C-alpha cells in the first residue's frame, strides 16, 4: 500500500493535467474571513444603535431626545425587513431586463429566494476561490454578505434625520425614510457596488460608502432641511446640545463601529482589511486634532463637541478611500476634511441661513464629496495594484470620481425632492407649531426622557 501511494504521488507530479481533471473544485467557507465578517456586521449595527442614536440624541434638546432614539431604532427594524424582502435583490441582484441591468437589480433574490445557507457570496474584494466552471467566488457565506450590506442600508437613511431633527412628524419621517431607502438608496448601491452597475463598470472607487452612503444621505439631508423649513426658534446658529456626554459617547461608538464599516468592506480578514482599519483610525485622529486646533485658534478654546465632530468628519472622508490609500493619504484626508467641514458648519451654513439641525450635510455630505474626490487623487497602487489616482499619473480616475459624485447628487437630490412631496401629500411631514414647542417626545410618543420626582 505504501508503495502504491508513492507511485501515485510520482504520477501526479508528471501528469498534473490528468489529476486536475478528475479532482473536483469545491469552494469552501473560510472560517477566518467569516468570523471577521460576523464581527464587522455587528460593529456596523453598533454604529446605528447605540452610536448614531446617542450622537444625534445628545445634540438635540431634551424634549426631543427620545424622538431621535426612536427614529434610529425603528429604521433598524423597518429597513432590515425591507432589505430581505426585496431591497438586497434590488441593490445587488441582476435584472432580467437587459437594459435595466446597469441601473436596477430586479427581484430574483426577493425574500432571499434561491439563496441557501451553504451558498458562498458572489461578491468579494481580495479573497476568492476558483469554481468548476472557471469562475471565481467569495470565501464567506452569501447570507453574511447580505447582513453586512443590510447594516449599510440601515444607517444611510438614519444619517439624514440629523438635518430635520426636532421638527418632523414621526409618521411623515417613517414613510419618507422607507420610500427613500427603496427608490434612492437601493438604486445607487446597485450603480456603485453591483457587478452590473454602470458606475461600477465605469471604474468609480467607493470602498465603503463615501458615495453610496455619505454623499447620498448628505444631499438628501440638505434637500429635506430646506423643504421642511427652519425650526421655529432657530436663530441662524446652533442650538445648545442638551447632553454633551451623549455626544461624546456616540462619537466614540461611531469611531469603534467604523472599523467594521471600513475594514469589513474588504470582505476578508487580510492585509487589505488591516490597512483599511489603520487608515480609518489615522484619518479620524488627524481630523479630530485638526478641528480642535482650528477652534483653539479662532475661538480661543477647543470643545469636546468640536473634536467629536472632527473625528466623525474624518471617518466620513476616509470611507471611500480606505481600501485605496496608505497612511500618508489618510493624514492628508484628515486635515483637509476638518478644514472644509469647519468652514461649512461655522461660516457657510449661517451665511446661507438653512437649518441643517445636526450638520448632516455639512459633515456627511461635504465630507463624503471631499473623500470621493481625494480618493481619485490619492489612490495608490501600493495598496491595491490595480488602482491609482491622479497623484500617481491616473487623471482618468479623478474624472470618473466626479462623474460618480455628480450622478449621485442629481439622482439623490431630485429623487428626495419628489419623495418629500409625495410623503407630504400622503401623510404630512412637518410637525405643528404646538407639537414642536412642546417637544416631539411627548407629542409623537407620549414619553419624556427625564422625569422630575418631588
Output Rg (C-alpha) for the chain, integer angstroms.
Answer: 24
Instruction: Show the domains of the chain with their CATH numbers.
Output: 43-105+150-445 (1.10.3430.10)
Measured between alpha carbons, how far is residue 175 from residues 19, 172, 178, 181 in Å? Answer: 59, 5, 5, 10
Q: What is the pTM of this model?
A: 0.92
Q: What is the DSSP letter of 305?
A: H
Cα gap 327→115, rounded to integer Å: 39
The pLDDT profile of the chain, 454 residues, written as one tens digit per residue, is 444 445 445 444 545 544 445 555 788 999 999 999 999 999 999 999 999 999 999 999 999 999 999 999 999 999 999 999 999 999 999 998 999 999 999 999 999 999 999 999 999 887 888 888 878 888 999 999 999 999 999 999 999 999 999 999 999 999 999 999 999 999 999 999 999 999 999 999 999 999 999 999 999 999 999 999 999 988 877 788 999 999 999 999 999 999 999 999 999 999 999 999 999 999 999 999 999 999 999 999 999 999 999 999 999 999 999 999 999 999 999 999 999 999 999 999 999 999 999 999 999 999 999 999 999 999 999 999 999 999 999 999 999 999 999 999 999 999 999 999 999 999 999 999 999 999 999 999 999 999 875 5
68, 55 in Cβ contact below 8 A? no
3-state secondary structure of 368: helix
Cα gap 54→43, rounded to integer Å: 15
- Determine which helix (DSSP H) or strand (DSSP E) holds 130, and give its type and residue range: strand 129-130
Cα gap 349→363, rounded to integer Å: 12
Amino acid at each position: 500500500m505504501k508503495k502504491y501511494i508513492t507511485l501515485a504521488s510520482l504520477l501526479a507530479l508528471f501528469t498534473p493535467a490528468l489529476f486536475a481533471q478528475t479532482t473536483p473544485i469545491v469552494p469552501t467557507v473560510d472560517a477566518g474571513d467569516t468570523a471577521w465578517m460576523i464581527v464587522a456586521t455587528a460593529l456596523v449595527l453598533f454604529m446605528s444603535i447605540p452610536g448614531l442614536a446617542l450622537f444625534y440624541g445628545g445634540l438635540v434638546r431634551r424634549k426631543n431626545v427620545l424622538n431621535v432614539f426612536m427614529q434610529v431604532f425603528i429604521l433598524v427594524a423597518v429597513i432590515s425587513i425591507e432589505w430581505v424582502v426585496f431591497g438586497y435583490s434590488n441593490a445587488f441582484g441582476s435584472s432580467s431586463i437587459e437594459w435595466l441591468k446597469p441601473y436596477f437589480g430586479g427581484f430574483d433574490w426577493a425574500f432571499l429566494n434561491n439563496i441557501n445557507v451553504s451558498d458562498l457570496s458572489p461578491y468579494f474584494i481580495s479573497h476568492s476561490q476558483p469554481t468548476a466552471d472557471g469562475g471565481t467566488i467569495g470565501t464567506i457565506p452569501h447570507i453574511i454578505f447580505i447582513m453586512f450590506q443590510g447594516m449599510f442600508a440601515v444607517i444611510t437613511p438614519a444619517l439624514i434625520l440629523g438635518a430635520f431633527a426636532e421638527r418632523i412628524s414621526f409618521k411623515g419621517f417613517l414613510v419618507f425614510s422607507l420610500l427613500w431607502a427603496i427608490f434612492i438608496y437601493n438604486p445607487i448601491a446597485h450603480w456603485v457596488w453591483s457587478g452590473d452597475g454602470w458606475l461600477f463598470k465605469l471604474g468609480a472607487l467607493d470602498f465603503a460608502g463615501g458615495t453610496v452612503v455619505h454623499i447620498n444621505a448628505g444631499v438628501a439631508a440638505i434637500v429635506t432641511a430646506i423643504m421642511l423649513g427652519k425650526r421655529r426658534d432657530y436663530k441662524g446658529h446652533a442650538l445648545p446640545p442638551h447632553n454633551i456626554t451623549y455626544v461624546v459617547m456616540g462619537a466614540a461608538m461611531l469611531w469603534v463601529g467604523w472599523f467594521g464599516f471600513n475594514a469589513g468592506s474588504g470582505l476578508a480578514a487580510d492585509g487589505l482589511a488591516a490597512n483599511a482599519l489603520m487608515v480609518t483610525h489615522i484619518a479620524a485622529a488627524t481630523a479630530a486634532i485638526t478641528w480642535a486646533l482650528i477652534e483653539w485658534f479662532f475661538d480661543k478654546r477647543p470643545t469636546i463637541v468640536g473634536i467629536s465632530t472632527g473625528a466623525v468628519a474624518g471617518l466620513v472622508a476616509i470611507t471611500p478611500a480606505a481600501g485605496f490609500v496608505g497612511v500618508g493619504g489618510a493624514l492628508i484626508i484628515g486635515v483637509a476634511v476638518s478644514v472644509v467641514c469647519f468652514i461649512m458648519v461655522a461660516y457657510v451654513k449661517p451665511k446661507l441661513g438653512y437649518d441643517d439641525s445636526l450638520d448632516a450635510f455639512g459633515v456627511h455630505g461635504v465630507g463624503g464629496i471631499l473623500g470621493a474626490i481625494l480618493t481619485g487623487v490619492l489612490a495608490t497602487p501600493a495598496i491595491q495594484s490595480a488602482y491609482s489616482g491622479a497623484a500617481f499619473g491616473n487623471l482618468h480616475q479623478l474624472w470618473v470620481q466626479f462623474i460618480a459624485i455628480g450622478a449621485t447628487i442629481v439622482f439623490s437630490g431630485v429623487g428626495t425632492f419628489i419623495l418629500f412631496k409625495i410623503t407630504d401629500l400622503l401623510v404630512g411631514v412637518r410637525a405643528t407649531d404646538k407639537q414642536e414647542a412642546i417637544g416631539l417626545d411627548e407629542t409623537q410618543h407620549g414619553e419624556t426622557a427625564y422625569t422630575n420626582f418631588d
